[in-house]
């Protein structure tokens, strides 16, 4: 059962989604598609308790055949902005009776704004804020096939992010940074570790993305 004090705000976001125009094969496009507004009709209609009781009377007199189903709208949005954002990309698809790995590059930014994917009343976001920013600090990459392969990682060595503890312990922070957290990126493969540029990181075939809250 889902309820809200203000139904008119149920499908509102912190920032305007329609201004995004996300590029295909990007994390922004993935998030936009995942949080899009869906219409539930025909066999997907929802059982409406209010409509059923209005039509049939008290709940204890209702049989399954008398239940009233109604068209509805559905949208999945973020209601609580986490201190650490982990994005898991689906890198497989059905190919006949088999699963096939998706190898194409998915673009992802060094700083991402979650505001277009958050509810208008998102918790732990200060009133009036129209941005919810995160800075990239880790990437897991997979090479190979669905049957075998190798995992490597990109990690940013950086100064401690002091306001994350405020977010974890108190659910809020006074931080106001809007730029990526400064640091040096490293590529890690088994026992081999070497420094790399941010352009090398952003061109990787990401499987897992790790972001820390900026704003």
**CATH for 95:** 3.90.70.10
The helix/strand/coil state of 165 is helix
Is 170 inside any structural domain? Answer: yes
The distance from CA 5 to its chain's CA centroid, rounded to whole angstroms, is 24
Q: What is the domain range of residue 101?
A: 79-213
Q: How far is CA 183 from CA 47, 134, 159, 196, in A?
A: 52, 15, 7, 11
The pLDDT of residue 20 is above 70: yes
Q: Alpha-carbon dihedral of residues 143, 145, 146, 151, nearest 10 degrees? A: -20
Find the largest Cα–Cα distance for the chain: 70
Number of domains forming the structure of the chain: 1
Is 43 inside any structural domain? Answer: no
CA within 13 Å, CB half, 56: 18
Is 57 inside any structural domain? Answer: no
Distance of alpha carbon 34 from alpha carbon 89, whole angstroms:
12
Is 4 inside any structural domain? Answer: no
Is 88 inside any structural domain? Answer: yes
Is 106 inside any structural domain? Answer: yes
Is 167 inside any structural domain? Answer: yes
Is 28 inside any structural domain? Answer: no
In contact, 180 and 158? CB cutoff 8 Å: no
pLDDT digits (tens, 9 = 90+) for 25-71: 999 999 999 999 899 999 888 888 788 877 776 665 555 557 888 88
What is residue 165's predicted lDDT score, i.e. its pLDDT?
Answer: 66
pLDDT digits (tens, 9 = 90+) for 75-98: 899 999 999 999 999 888 877 787
């Amino acid at each position: 059962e889902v309820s809200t004090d203000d139904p008119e705000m149920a499908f509102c976001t912190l920032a305007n989604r329609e201004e995004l125009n996300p590029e295909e094969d990007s994390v922004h496009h993935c998030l936009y598609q995942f949080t899009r507004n869906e219409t539930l009709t025909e066999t997907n209609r929802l059982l409406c308790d209010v409509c059923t009781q209005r039509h049939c009377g008290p709940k204890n007199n209702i049989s399954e055949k008398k239940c009233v189903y109604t068209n509805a709208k559905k949208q999945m949005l973020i209601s609580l902005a986490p201190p650490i954002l982990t994005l898991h990309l689906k890198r497989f698809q059905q190919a006949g009776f088999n699963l096939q790995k998706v190898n194409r590059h998915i673009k992802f930014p060094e700083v991402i704004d979650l505001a277009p994917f958050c509810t208008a009343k998102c918790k732990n976001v200060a009133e009036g804020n129209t941005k919810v920013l995160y800075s990239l600090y880790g990437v897991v990459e997979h090479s190979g096939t669905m049957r075998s392969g190798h995992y490597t990682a990109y990690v940013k060595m950086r100064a401690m992010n002091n306001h994350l503890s405020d977010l974890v312990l108190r659910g809020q922070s006074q931080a106001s940074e809007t730029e990526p957290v400064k640091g040096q990126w490293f590529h890690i493969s088994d026992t081999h570790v070497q420094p790399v540029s941010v352009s090398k990181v952003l061109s990787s075939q990401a499987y897992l993305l790790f972001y820390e809250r900026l704003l």
